[in-house]
Amino acid sequence: MLLAITREISPTLADCQLEHLEREPIDVSRARAQHRGYRDALRELGAQVISLPAAVDCPDGVFVEDPAIVLDEIAIVTRMGNLVRRAESESLARAVAEYRGLKRIVDPGTLEGGDVMRVDRTLYVGLSRRTNREGIGQLAEIVAPYGYEVAAVPVTGCLHLKSAVCYLGDNKVLANRNWIDAAALSKFEIVDVPEERGANVLRLGDTVLIPAAFPETAQTLRAAGFKTREIDTSELLKAEAGVTCMSLLLAGPDSPPE
């Protein structure tokens, strides 16, 4: 069983950290309804959803992908590059510890889970404003005994690597080449995203979950042979949310390793 750890939306969501967007008013009630729709979609696509209570003092707490990376064998508690967000880590670490042993990124390393794209036994890690070379080096040392390799990918135009590129399966990635060093993805067939912010998608089973705000991207994916499931995330997008960042996916105890 695939598990999806999520966290309820904080009433302070409107105070979230922003890097690339101008701040707009966020309707928190509507955002909560959209997050329920997101969790429903995860269930429909085969995941067992674990919903943690809101971290009231953490506006960005709903973005559970960033404080931890979960592999088949272990989980890595990250040291987030955004100082304000580090308060999110321990409560999420306690939830993850029920399923995996924990390792940690330590000072002076920084690493955020949104910068990590796993493809089989390779972790592509964005070198970004939130993730530094020391953090990438520590990650490589932690995962090497388990047979993983780490490849750094310079990120220039967006918050995290997975804001610019996500793995679709079948040796394909959906990417905005303008935001990353695309040379690092030379082994993949690149599906170019037609909408600047549309590259963050989540494949579950045979379906690609995508925000309804990016209809041209959904059409491009269908033309490339993928089934899509669109969901409304309009309020969450104002907080620079993506469909990957609002859940932490891990294989449950009855699931075979990838």
Q: Give the active site residue among 16, 158, 160, 166.
A: 160
Tokens of 233: 């995330």
Measured over the CA atoms of residue 175, residue 181, residue 185 and residue 190, the dihedral's sign is: positive
Look up 245 and say whether it is catalytic.
Answer: yes
Look up 35 and say whether it is catalytic.
Answer: no
Closest by alpha carbon to 182, among 195, 164, 194, 208?
164
Tokens of 241: 């949310």
* Number of other CB atoms surrounding residue 221 within 10 Å: 23
Closest by alpha carbon to 233, among 19, 85, 63, 81?
63
Cα–Cα dist 207/2, whole Å? 14
Cα–Cα dist 245/203, whole Å? 13
The residues annotated as belonging to the active site are: 160, 245
